[in-house]
């Protein structure tokens, strides 16, 4: 009996020590209506937050760790947003001291701790298994996420954007909500890759053709010539955009981009990564019952 109590006490003490180690990195981002969102101090003057849940404003009040007694409330400007990787950055006017955290790997089955801000300078904690640690993936907004990490943890809305540690105390990334309120981790590797460019430019440039498209079936008569049964029909074209300059017109059905069939959207997204800007995109399209080839020069997507 005594032994068992000791094991639990040891686990409990170890968990409390983890909380103490990470507490200084957790901030609350004030939202209207007495609500807040969590953010993670990543650099002495940079807070990372979940882009999808951060209202479209330029400046936010942050409640620093320790609350009004210590860190108090500071204001921070939005330094960049990238819906592709779901990362938003807030820049503090004054750098603060950052607890020493190293980034580490995620393994399925390992324990993870997810932290959030309680809104008055303190920390809220959740614990659970790493439900999935899969390969890299592409988000619906076209961003590359280095690893698919799903947590077996329920999270309050206000806790989104806080840090996640593995059992060894290494930082896995920050939390965000996926579909059906599934809790995902934006991996530390993705954040580290994106932060410098996002701080410099305020956004992540992505390749752009300037068209809105809808999936359609290729008419039966053209199946053989097209070599595929589906394509993307051009619904609208941005004036003066790359597709417009290349002579693409509404009603064209795009079959392939650089040889990749358009149903492989994730592959197409990689053809339009930031390195693609300035390069040619070879488009095979159906127009007026014929298959033809069109070249467009990829440009940077203009800011939203």
Partner 1 sequence: MSDATTQLVAPRRLRVAIYAADPLRRAALRRLIANSDHDAADTTEAADVLLCDGDCRSTEARPFVTLGGTDTGQAGLLAPDADANQIDAALRAVAAGLIVRSPGAEETGFAAMKETDLQMLLTPREIEVLSAIGEGMTNKSIARRLNISLHTVKFHIESLFRKLGVRTRTQALAKASERRRIETVEL
Min dist. Cβ of residue 33 to partner 1 (A): 6
CB nearer to partner 1: pick between 71 and 138: 138
Return the bridge partners of 150, or none: 132, 184
Min dist. Cβ of residue 126 to partner 1 (A): 17
Min dist. Cβ of residue 175 to partner 1 (A): 10
User: What does the CA dihedral 259, 262, 265, 271 come to, rounded to 10 degrees?
Assistant: 30
Strands 299-300 and 207-208: antiparallel
CB nearer to partner 1: pick between 43 and 230: 230
Instruction: Give which of 282, 284, 281 is closest to 273, Cα–Cα.
Output: 281
Q: In angstroms, rounded to a whole number, what is the distance separating the alpha carbons of residues 179 and 8? A: 35
3-state DSSP of 180-233: HHCEEEEEHHHHHHHHHHHHHHCCCCCEECCEEEEEEECCHHHHHHHCCCEEEE
CB nearer to partner 1: pick between 92 and 106: 106
Min dist. Cβ of residue 281 to partner 1 (A): 9
Q: In angstroms, rounded to a whole number, what is the distance separating the alpha carbons of residues 206 and 195? A: 15
CB nearer to partner 1: pick between 167 and 277: 277
> Which positions touch partner 1 (CB under 8 A)?
31-33, 35, 50, 52-53, 55, 86, 137-140, 142, 157, 176-182, 184, 208-219, 229-230, 232-233, 235, 251, 253, 257, 262-266, 268-269, 272
Min dist. Cβ of residue 18 to partner 1 (A): 26
Min dist. Cβ of residue 83 to partner 1 (A): 9
Three-class SS of residue 163?
strand
CB nearer to partner 1: pick between 195 and 218: 218
Output the six-digit token pair for 218: 């290729």
CB nearer to partner 1: pick between 65 and 210: 210
């Amino acid at each position: 009996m005594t032994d068992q109590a000791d094991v639990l006490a040891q686990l409990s003490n170890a968990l409390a020590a983890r909380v103490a180690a990470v507490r200084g990195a957790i901030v609350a981002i004030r939202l209207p209506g007495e609500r807040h969102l969590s953010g993670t101090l990543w650099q002495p003057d940079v807070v990372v937050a979940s882009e999808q849940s951060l209202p479209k404003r330029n400046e936010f009040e942050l409640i620093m760790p320790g609350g009004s007694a210590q860190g108090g409330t500071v204001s921070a400007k939005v330094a960049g947003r990238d819906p592709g990787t779901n990362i938003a950055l807030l820049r503090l006017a004054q750098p603060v001291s950052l607890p020493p955290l190293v980034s580490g790997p995620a393994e399925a089955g390992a324990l993870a701790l997810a932290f959030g801000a309680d809104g008055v300078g303190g920390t809220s904690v959740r614990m659970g298994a790493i439900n999935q640690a899969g390969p890299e993936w592409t988000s619906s907004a076209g961003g590359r996420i280095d690893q698919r990490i799903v947590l077996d943890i329920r999270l309050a809305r206000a806790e989104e954007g806080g840090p996640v540690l593995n059992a060894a105390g290494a930082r896995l990334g920050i939390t965000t909500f996926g579909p059906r309120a599934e809790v995902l981790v934006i991996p530390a590797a993705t954040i580290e890759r994106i932060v410098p460019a996002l701080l410099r430019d305020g956004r992540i440039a992505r390749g752009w053709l300037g068209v809105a498209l809808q999936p359609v079936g290729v008419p039966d008569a053209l199946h053989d010539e097209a070599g595929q049964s589906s394509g993307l029909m051009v619904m609208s074209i941005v004036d003066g955009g790359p597709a417009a300059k290349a002579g693409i017109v509404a009603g064209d059905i795009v079959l392939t981009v650089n040889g990749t069939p358009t149903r492989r959207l994730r592959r197409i997204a990689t053809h339009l990564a930031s390195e693609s800007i300035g390069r040619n995109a070879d488009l095979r399209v159906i127009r007026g019952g014929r298959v033809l080839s069109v070249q467009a020069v990829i440009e940077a997507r203009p800011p939203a």
